[in-house]
Amino acid sequence: MDILIHTLSGTTTAGFIVAFSKSSIKDKLFLVLLGGFAGAFPDIDALSLWGGFDRTIGKWLHLSHSGSDIYFGKFWYSHHGFFHSLLAAFLFALIFILIRKNFFKSLALKDYIKTPHTKNVFAVCFFAYVSHLLGDLPTPGAVWGGVRLFFPFNVYIGGYGTTWWWNNYDVFLSLAISTIFFVLLILLNKRFYSTDYLKLSAGLYICCVGFCLYFVTHRSISYAYTGNTVRYAYYERSSKIDQYKRLGKNLYFRMVRLDNKIPLYF
């Protein structure tokens, strides 16, 4: 999946988690933004594909392999390696709350960890991060064969190829709409009874997950391949045809125009 979908999967997951929080509206909105950051973070391992990687980071760390070799390789720090694991999700959440502790120096570490908001921050960081890992499972195995979900074990999970890397506009729209509704629920929280707020949030999240699961498992062809493929253009074209049929002409071309305006793979 692309970075925008991963970011939105993080904000949607965070929006659901904060429904169980008694934090202020400001804190809840912060947690949604934090969820977006956590959802995007696992792709930090794609930094090795940056054109200036070899002459900067690679040179500073005296790496014996090029950034491209690292990205498409199976080193622990390669793409879909350590940073795409449950262990990384846990460490990311732990490190974040420990960094945040610097803003609460008057509290003992034990008391700080026990505060409800700290627990919410940890939960958002962890589960939003995991939403990224789950989003990568249905994409093609390619040179990695999935994601190294259970690092340090050298086992790659996923790579099912039920959907393509890009052009998942239906998934993007589902997550974007869900995030907008979660933000509205947060802003209108005081107008609902707590049980109604929880029910609405749970229903929204279940519907969003259900739609996304349906979309990524009901494509017209299988995108499963390992290693490199000479059919890349065919897969790319097929994924766009799928979106055209699903979204309709008008909405599809609006998404294409948006796609062309964003300087990211989308």
User: pLDDT digit string (tens) for 15-29?
Assistant: 999 998 888 899 999
What's residue 23's pLDDT? 86
Q: Is the pLDDT of residue 192 over 80?
A: no
Mean pLDDT of the chain: 94
What's residue 105's pLDDT? 81
Q: Tell me the average pLDDT across 30-55.
A: 94
What's residue 224's pLDDT? 95
Q: Is 85 exposed, middle or buried (0-12, 13-18, 19+ CB in 10 A)?
A: buried
User: Tens of pLDDT along 76-105?
Assistant: 999 999 999 999 999 999 999 999 988 888
Q: Is the pLDDT of residue 193 over 70?
A: no
What's residue 106's pLDDT? 84
Q: Is the pLDDT of residue 74 over 70?
A: yes
SS3 (DSSP) at 142 = strand
Q: Is the pLDDT of residue 149 over 90?
A: yes
What's residue 34's pLDDT? 97
What's residue 75's pLDDT? 94
The torsion region of residue 145 among left (phi > 0), alpha (psi -120 to 50) and beta comes to left
Closest to 34 in 3D by CA, of 18, 11, 16, 17: 11
Tokens of 215: 């979309």
Residue 174 in contact with residue 259, Cβ under 8 Å?
Answer: no
Q: Tell me the average pLDDT across 202-229.
A: 95
Q: Is the pLDDT of residue 191 over 80?
A: no
What's residue 26's pLDDT? 93
**% the chain with pLDDT above 70:** 99
The amino acid at residue 31 is L
The amino acid at residue 125 is C
